[in-house]
Amino acid sequence: MDSPVIATPLSAVKIDTDGFTALELGHISKINLRGDFDSPAVVGALTTLLGMQTDLAPNTFVSNGAATLFWLGPDERLVYTDRDPDAIISQWRNHTGTGAVDVSDYSTVLRLSGQKVRDVIASGAPFDMHPDNFSAGQCVQTRFGNASILLSNHADTPVFQLQVRWSFAEYVFNYIERVVKYV
Amino acid sequence: MFIINCPYCGDRDQTEFSCHGEAHIPRPTNTATMTDEEWGDYVFFRSNPKGYHRERWLHDHGCRRWFNALRHTVTDEFVATYKVQDPRPQIPGDGDQS
Ligand SMILES: [Zn+2]
């Protein structure tokens, strides 16, 4: 059976200029997990279902190839996964008795790379983008213009991922496209 | 512009937050028998001090958690931010813990 084609909001656009590239990553399955991340049931579920540790410091994320786990709050994590999200969600609920929600289409993800990335983000976000304050492995939920974003640093070259709500994607893209000319 | 310490995320710019008024106002338990005047007090009336004020804040653009802050309403000084279940921090120069 053919998979349905899932059109993401920025699939038709990209920015590729000297020192800055922005490209949407396309569809990513995303799951919002709730629970007590110190409890044995949750620790066990994360290990079994995702092969991941739970001792994630605030404002950090981990990847193991098949999945990426982001800290969103004291009792909240976000997962990007290559696997079927429905299977993970039902097993999570069975293992932990706490919430798991498919949020795949709630937001989209831009991959930002090039030497200008920190300056471009700093033009719209109040979070300090200095490498001492935001290094690889860190993520931050903050503001870019008027949009809430989840920004993660995947490499200090730098390579960032910017997750934004679906309905704000065009706004953020247009904002970036404009400021990249000035930084 | 000033920096607010989210008890969950750490120091962040004020524009990531919003303030939602006086903290520590419990919902009444005798709602079936309250008079209009008592409802009016609960819903509308606040202490509105010129000085130190315990208030509710939300980290809108960050972790989306509610927390409390002890702030001076004239100087905007944040004496402390604290989780809703934490003990109330003391008002500077005041022995009263309430
Ligand atoms: Zn926070």
Query: CA B70 to CA B54: how far, in whole Å?
Result: 4
pLDDT at B60: 97
Q: In the CATH hierarchy, which top-level class contains the domain A14-26+107-179?
A: alpha beta
- Domain extents for chain B? 3-28+39-82
Q: Which residue of B has its CA nearest to A124?
A: B15
Does a cis peptide bond (omega within 30 degrees of 0) precede residue A58? no
Q: Which residue type sits at A173? A: F
pLDDT at A5: 67
pLDDT at A3: 67
Distance A139 CA to ligand 1 centre (A): 12
Token code pair at residue B10: 């750490």
Dihedral class, residue A35 (left if φ above 0, else alpha if ψ from -120 to 50, else beta): left
Q: Where are the beta strands (DSSP E) in B2-95?
A: 3-6, 10-13, 18-22, 52-58, 66-72, 78-82
This model's pTM is above 0.80: yes
pLDDT at A2: 67
pLDDT at A53: 79
Query: CA B80 to CA B7: how far, in whole Å?
Result: 10
Flag if B15 and A126 touch (Cβ within 8 Å): yes
ipTM at complex level: 0.91
Mean pLDDT by 10 residues, chain A (183 residues): 76 96 96 95 93 89 94 97 96 95 97 98 97 97 98 97 98 97 92
Flag if A126 and B12 touch (Cβ within 8 Å): yes
Residue-wise over A82-106: b if at least 16 C-beta within 10 A, else e?
Answer: eeebeebbeebeebbebebeeebee
**CATH architecture for the domain at B3-28+39-82:** 2-Layer Sandwich (3.30)
* B71 has a pLDDT exceeding 70: yes
Looking at the complex, report in whole angstroms how far the Cα of residue A57 sits from the nearest Cα belonging to chain B: 10
CA atoms within 13 A on the CB side of A8: 22
Q: Around Cβ A162, how many Cβ atoms within 10 Å?
A: 27
In terms of CATH, what superfamily is A29-102? Heterotetrameric sarcosine oxidase (3.30.70.1520)
- Domain extents for chain A? 14-26+107-179, 29-102
